[in-house]
């Protein structure tokens, strides 16, 4: 692909309005090869040579040397750097040295497990592993094959969900695996953060506990995209010390990384053209020019919208050369898209982050990111899906009309000069820890020594479970209450939701389309909502809250829907406090209540509001962690003197601070929420709250508490740099605001933030 020629082509289009605000040219890098402390087993060396690999990169040799020396290893290097070899070679060598050795591979998705199984079989040849000695074991594995896998497989490919639900609770039937387990591989470890990561950390502790019971102490090999804290993250996930490998010896082709900012269409409000339309323009031109591309959208709904827009713009036959891809589709549908993209049948796919992971979809030339993905790490991970060979590639970041995206569009040097964020998990979230202790007690009675696996919170959590009647102590052991059966079945490790809503199509015999987490159901499946599935629009006719069913029918309405919600917060406990420039900042437990009160209808493309409707839905409530802070008295007085709106300034500062927090923590804007008030009954004064949007919290606002001064500074810069007069989506307006972004006072918000900084 001629990158420069294509970029010149874009600038000649009628719709081009100087959207390219920055191009970062990333030079290619040569390979750096390392040396093993001792040669590979001759059979394994022969297998490598059969697939034309004659030398190993420096990070591969460092990881293999460490594993051979009995260490657990964390490898954190760029996409397409050959991390798979860092675990496949030690595992295969262990099997050659001892045919009784076993390995357990964990991947976050079934598709990735299937993909890596093919890679292992390709590498191993029949000289090391017979066909039945490596297998996937997940929810799709036929029942008739499961006994053979338990008996014969030396390498098991699975996911944390199956380990949690199917393997650990039945560990005695897996005794051959656990007795001989030499290695546990945890791939895509950066995915295990937040709620999901906090669950997986407890599952891995349960795994280590069961291994000890069966007499094994496996080494762990973790692989991750580049993050700021790879060693700390691996140790928190697993609970063991790790050797960390971050030096990347793989070659990489050059890349042009384009920052594309939609043009302003309203000078006074700094309103910009829809990022969805801009992404459609870029994607359509890539496909027309036969450039194989992948476009990432932030949500399922946007994935469907951009696919429909692009399909309509391309027409026949090119419109049939693209497809959407996201979670919620049936496995067979997802596999079909993966294969068609790999073999070249498709020229492009519109996807959620479901394709961010390392599934082999062939060599792509371009990636388009619709909005900043929420972290530096994810941005590079998504951009790295193109240019997975030595050829030059192209990536676009299309700026959304929100403070964080516009902050980077105006300061690209900060993006390219910013280090990666830390992955965050919370080992002491009792909402997560206590259910896993029940699972552990089902697997084996708990004893005091299990605190060595589950950490400092173990004793207190066990005491609470005992007082709740869920555990009973007999001698020096805790047993599960007889009233609790199969506790693992009640835990969804990927969500804070324990239940899901079924989406049923009334027009086709009440066929099940997909499922939606209950925590987001009121936002997506409320009566009157337009719900998108595989490029088709459906109108939600009925939401049955008792049976957790949403009944939908096909719709051809030219609009989509967006909810309005109200949130209240109360302080339960202050855990930490500090003062910065005379301002008190707090961290603690809070009670959050959210009510979806209505929705708007917005036209596609123009996003004009064409109607609003009230809703009567139950309030949702959860306890989580929050940070909050006082406001500077001088700034409050200045706002009063100038006649600005104090409440509007609070609201503006809150919105912008929430939007900028992902600069400092590996999270998405949807992972956090906020409340601002001129008078809070718990403190008797004006406050701004920022809270984790998950029960119990996952450490996001704790990171925010630590860097709150830097957060204030970045927020102030973002608002002051925005060219609008009175506040806009690029600085202080929020698409999630339940109050329709009222009141908002940009100038008052700047005064408050400058006051917080002591300016």
Per-residue pLDDT tens over the stretch 453-472: 999 999 999 999 999 999 99
* pLDDT at residue 59, as a whole number: 98
Give the list of residues 6+ apart from residue 526 with CB closer than 8 angstroms, or none. 540, 543, 563, 596, 599, 615, 617
Looking at 357, 387, 417, the residue that finishes a domain is 417
Confidence of residue 693 (pLDDT cuts 50, 70, 90): confident
Q: Which residue has the higher pLDDT, 723 or 20?
A: 20
Q: How far apart, in whole angstroms, are the C-alpha atoms of residue 215 and residue 210?
A: 9
Contact 255, 387 (CB under 8 A): yes
* pLDDT at residue 358, as a whole number: 58
On average, the pLDDT of the chain sits at: 91
Contact 670, 523 (CB under 8 A): no
Closest C-alpha to 188, from 142, 233, 247: 233
Q: Domain holding 398: CATH number?
A: 3.40.50.300
Domain range for 512? 500-557
Does 643 lie in the same domain as 545? no
* Number of domains composing the chain: 5
Q: How is residue 419 written in tokens?
A: 């280090």
Task: Tell how many helices (H) and how many strands (E) occur in the chain.
Answer: 25, 29
Does 143 lie in the same domain as 52? yes
Contact 199, 191 (CB under 8 A): no
Phi, psi of 135 (to 5 degrees): -160, 155
Mean pLDDT for the stretch of residues 160-167: 96
Long-range contacts made by residues 201-204, C-beta under 8 angstroms, separation at least 24?
Answer: 201/236, 201/237, 201/238, 201/239, 201/425, 201/427, 202/427, 202/432, 202/433, 202/436, 202/454, 203/160, 203/163, 203/164, 203/168, 203/436, 203/493, 204/237, 204/238, 204/239
Percent of the chain with pLDDT over 90: 66
Give SS3 for 183: strand
Give the list of residues 6+ apart from residue 86 with CB closer than 8 angstroms, or none. 59, 60, 63, 64, 67, 73, 75, 221, 223, 245
Q: What confidence tens digit (pLDDT) does each residue in 79-97 have?
A: 888 999 999 999 999 999 9
Residue 702 lies in a domain: yes
pLDDT of 604 higher than 90: no
Q: Which residue has the higher pLDDT, 473 or 428?
A: 473
Give the list of residues 6+ apart from residue 265 with CB closer than 8 angstroms, or none. 271, 272, 273
Does 299 lie in the same domain as 442? no
Give the list of residues 6+ apart from residue 643 with CB closer than 8 angstroms, or none. none
Closest C-alpha to 162, from 493, 499, 585: 493
Mean pLDDT for the stretch of residues 498-515: 86
Out of 86-100, 214-228, 387-401, pick the least confident.
387-401
| Residue burial 531-559, b: 16+ Cβ < 10 Å; e: rest | bbbbeebbbbeebeeeebbbbbeebeeeb
Looking at 417, 445, 476, the residue that finishes a domain is 417
Q: Which residue has the higher pLDDT, 645 or 494?
A: 645
Q: Which residue has the higher pLDDT, 674 or 514?
A: 674
pLDDT of 496 higher than 70: no
Across 6-15, 193-202, 294-303, 424-433, which has the greatest mean pLDDT? 6-15
Residue 425 lies in a domain: no
Does 553 lie in the same domain as 574? no
**Is the pTM above the cut of 0.85?**
no
Mean pLDDT for the stretch of residues 153-174: 96
pLDDT of 14 higher than 90: yes
Out of 155-164, 528-537, 633-642, pick the least confident.
528-537
pLDDT of 219 higher than 70: yes
Residue 424 lies in a domain: no
Confidence of residue 514 (pLDDT cuts 50, 70, 90): confident
* pLDDT at residue 262, as a whole number: 95
Question: What is the separation, in whole angstroms, between the first and last Cα of the chain?
Answer: 51
Does 397 lie in the same domain as 306? yes
Contact 170, 204 (CB under 8 A): no
In this structure, how many other beta carbons lie within 10 angstroms of the beta carbon of residue 709? 16
Residue 33 lies in a domain: no
Does 109 lie in the same domain as 233? yes
Does 676 lie in the same domain as 531? no
Residue 422 lies in a domain: no
* pLDDT at residue 357, as a whole number: 65
pLDDT of 554 higher than 80: yes
pLDDT of 419 higher than 80: no
pLDDT of 478 higher than 90: yes
Does 536 lie in the same domain as 466? no
Does 233 lie in the same domain as 132? yes
Does 544 lie in the same domain as 606? no
Q: What confidence tens digit (pLDDT) does each residue in 519-550 have?
A: 788 989 999 999 988 667 899 999 999 999 99
Strand partners, 673: 691
Residue 48 lies in a domain: yes
Residue 592 lies in a domain: yes
Give SS3 for 95: helix
Give the list of residues 6+ apart from residue 215 with CB closer than 8 angstroms, or none. 179
pLDDT of 55 higher than 70: yes
Looking at 490, 512, 530, the residue that finishes a domain is 490
* pLDDT at residue 263, as a whole number: 93
Does 163 lie in the same domain as 263? no
* pLDDT at residue 361, as a whole number: 64
* pLDDT at residue 270, as a whole number: 61
Residue 303 lies in a domain: yes
Does 176 lie in the same domain as 98? yes
Q: How far apart, in whole angstroms, are the C-alpha atoms of residue 57 and residue 509?
A: 56
* pLDDT at residue 60, as a whole number: 98
């Amino acid at each position: 692909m001629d990158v420069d020629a294509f970029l010149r082509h874009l600038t000649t289009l009628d719709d081009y309005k100087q959207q390219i605000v920055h191009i970062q040219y990333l030079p290619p890098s040569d390979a750096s090869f390392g040396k093993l402390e001792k040669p590979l087993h001759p059979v394994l060396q022969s297998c490598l040579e059969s697939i034309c690999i004659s030398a190993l990169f420096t990070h591969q040799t460092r990881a293999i040397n460490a594993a051979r020396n009995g260490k657990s290893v964390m490898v954190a290097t760029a996409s397409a750097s050959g991390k798979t070899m860092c675990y496949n070679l030690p595992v295969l060598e262990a099997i050659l040295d001892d045919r009784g050795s076993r390995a357990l591979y964990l991947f976050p998705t079934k598709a990735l497990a299937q993909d890596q199984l093919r890679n292992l079989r390709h590498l191993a040849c029949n000289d090391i592993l017979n066909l039945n000695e490596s297998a996937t074991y997940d929810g799709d594995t036929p029942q008739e094959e499961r006994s053979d896998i338990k008996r014969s497989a030396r390498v098991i490919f699975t996911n944390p969900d199956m380990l949690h639900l199917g393997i650990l609770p039945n560990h005695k039937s897996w005794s051959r695996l656990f007795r001989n387990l030499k290695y546990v591989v945890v791939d895509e470890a950066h995915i295990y953060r937040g709620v999901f990561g906090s669950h997986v950390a407890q599952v891995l502790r349960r795994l280590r506990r069961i291994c000890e019971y069966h007499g094994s102490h496996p080494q762990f090999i973790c692989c991750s995209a580049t993050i700021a804290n790879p060693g700390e993250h691996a140790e928190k996930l697993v609970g063991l010390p790790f050797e960390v490998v971050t030096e990347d010896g793989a070659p990489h082709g050059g890349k042009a990384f384009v920052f594309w900012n939609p043009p302003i269409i309203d000078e006074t409000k700094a309103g910009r053209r829809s990022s969805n339309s801009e992404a459609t323009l870029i994607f359509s031109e890539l496909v027309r020019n036969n450039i194989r591309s992948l476009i990432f959208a932030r949500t399922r709904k946007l994935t469907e919208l951009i696919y429909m827009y692009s399909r309509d713009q391309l027409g026949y036959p090119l419109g049939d050369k693209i497809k959407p891809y996201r979670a919620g589709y049936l496995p067979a549908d997802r596999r079909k898209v993966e294969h068609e993209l790999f073999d070249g049948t498709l020229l492009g796919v519109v996807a959620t982050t479901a394709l961010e992971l390392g599934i082999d979809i062939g060599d792509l030339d371009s990636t388009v990111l619709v909005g900043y993905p929420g972290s530096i790490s994810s941005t590079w991970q998504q951009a790295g899906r193109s240019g997975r060979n030595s050829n030059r590639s192209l990536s676009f970041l299309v700026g959304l009309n929100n403070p964080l995206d516009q902050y980077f569009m105006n300061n690209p040097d900060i993006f390219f000069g910013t280090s990666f964020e830390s992955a965050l998990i919370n080992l002491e979230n009792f909402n997560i820890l206590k259910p896993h202790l029940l699972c552990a007690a089902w697997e084996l009675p708990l004893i005091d020594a299990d605190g060595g696996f589950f950490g400092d919170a173990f004793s207190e959590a066990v005491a609470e479970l005992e007082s709740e009647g869920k555990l009973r102590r007999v001698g020096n052991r805790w047993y599960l209450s007889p009233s609790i059966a199969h506790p693992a079945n009640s835990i969804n490790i990927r969500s804070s939701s324990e239940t899901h809503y079924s989406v049923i199509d009334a027009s086709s015999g009440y066929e099940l389309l997909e499922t939606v987490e209950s925590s987001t159901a009121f936002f997506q499946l409320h009566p009157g909502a337009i719900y998108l599935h595989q490029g088709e629009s459906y109108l939600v006719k009925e939401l049955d809250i008792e049976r957790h069913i949403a009944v939908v029918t096909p719709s051809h309405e030219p609009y989509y829907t967006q909810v309005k919600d109200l949130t209240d917060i109360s302080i339960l406990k202050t855990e930490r406090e500090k003062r910065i420039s005379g301002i008190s900042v707090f961290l603690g437990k809070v009670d959050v209540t959210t009510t979806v009160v209505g929705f708007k209808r917005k036209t596609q493309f123009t996003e004009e509001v064409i109607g609003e409707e009230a809703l009567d839905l139950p309030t949702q409530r959860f306890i989580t962690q929050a940070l909050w802070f006082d406001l500077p008295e001088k700034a409050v007085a200045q706002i009063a003197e100038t006649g600005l709106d104090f409440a509007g300034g609070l609201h503006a500062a809150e919105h912008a601070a929430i939007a900028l927090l992902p600069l400092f923590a590996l999270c998405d804007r949807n992972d956090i929420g906020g409340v601002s008030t001129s008078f809070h009954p718990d403190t008797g004064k004006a406050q701004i709250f920022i809270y984790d949007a998950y029960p119990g919290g996952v450490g996001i606002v704790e990171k925010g508490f630590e860097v709150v001064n830097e957060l204030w500074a970045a927020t102030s810069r973002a608002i002051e740099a925005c060219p609008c007069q009175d506040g806009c989506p690029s600085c202080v307006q929020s698409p999630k605001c339940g109050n329709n972004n009222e009141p908002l006072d940009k100038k008052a918000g700047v005064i408050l933030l400058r006051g917080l900084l002591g300016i």
